[in-house]
C-alpha cells in the first residue's frame, strides 16, 4: 500500500469526486480526513471508509472561512502528527446564466468556494508539509478550467483560477513538495 502511515485530507469529501478520492486514498492505506460543509454525507463517507476497515474521520469545514481551514489543518496535525496529502476538491457549479444576468451573490459564492477555498486550503496545508519537508497537494479543477463553458462565467472563471493558482504554486515549491 503506497500511502500506509500517511495522512490525507479531502475537502468536499461528502460526495462525488471527493468521496471517490477518499475511497481511493484509503484503499492505498492512508488515514483519511473527510471534510465538507455537508455533515450528513461527510459522516457517511467516513463511515463507509471505517466499515471497509480504513482509518477515517469527518471534520466539518467551510473552505471559504480562513479560521475554519486553519483550525481543520491544526486539528489534523495535532491528532495525527502530520499532513502528507491533500485533495482540494470542495466546489460548486452555480447556475447556468448569461454573464449579463448573473447575480453578484452567485458570482461571489462560486468564486469563494471554488477559488478562494482552494487558496485557503493550500495556505494552511503547506505549512505542515513545508515543516516536514514533504507532501502532495491535488487541486481539483475541471475542463472548464481550460475552456469557457457557455453560461457558466463564474464557474469557468473559478476553475481557470484554480489552474493558474496551481501552476504558479508549483514553481515556488521545494522539490519534496508537489502541487
71 is catalytic: no
141 is catalytic: yes
| From 22, 35, 121, 155, the catalytic residue | 155
Q: How many CA atoms lie within 13 A of 129 on its CB side?
A: 26
Q: Residue 98: in which H helix or E strand, if any?
A: none
| From 124, 153, 156, 159, the catalytic residue | 159
- DSSP 8-class letter at 3: T
Identify the CA nearest to 61 among candidates 21, 90, 93, 92.
Answer: 90
CA distance 116 to 127: 17
155 is catalytic: yes
* Residue appearing with cell numbers 486514498: 25
| From 141, 142, 153, 156, the catalytic residue | 141
Active site residues: 141, 155, 159
Amino acid at each position: 500500500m503506497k500511502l500506509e502511515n500517511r495522512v490525507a485530507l479531502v475537502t468536499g469529501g461528502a460526495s462525488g469526486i471527493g468521496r471517490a478520492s477518499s475511497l481511493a486514498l484509503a484503499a492505498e492505506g492512508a488515514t483519511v480526513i473527510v471534510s465538507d460543509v455537508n455533515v450528513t454525507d461527510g459522516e457517511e463517507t467516513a463511515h463507509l471508509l471505517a466499515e471497509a476497515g480504513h482509518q477515517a474521520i469527518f471534520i466539518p469545514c467551510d473552505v471559504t472561512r480562513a479560521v475554519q481551514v486553519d483550525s481543520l489543518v491544526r486539528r489534523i496535525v495535532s491528532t495525527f502528527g502530520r499532513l502528507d496529502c491533500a485533495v482540494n476538491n470542495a466546489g460548486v457549479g452555480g447556475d447556468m446564466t448569461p454573464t449579463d444576468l448573473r447575480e453578484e451573490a452567485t458570482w461571489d459564492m462560486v468564486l469563494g468556494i471554488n477559488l478562494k477555498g482552494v487558496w485557503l486550503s493550500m495556505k494552511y496545508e503547506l505549512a505542515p508539509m513545508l515543516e516536514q519537508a514533504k507532501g502532495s497537494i491535488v487541486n481539483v479543477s475541471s475542463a472548464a478550467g481550460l475552456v469557457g463553458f457557455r453560461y457558466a462565467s463564474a464557474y469557468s472563471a473559478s476553475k481557470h483560477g484554480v489552474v493558474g493558482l496551481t501552476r504558479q504554486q508549483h514553481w515556488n515549491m521545494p522539490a519534496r513538495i508537489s502541487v
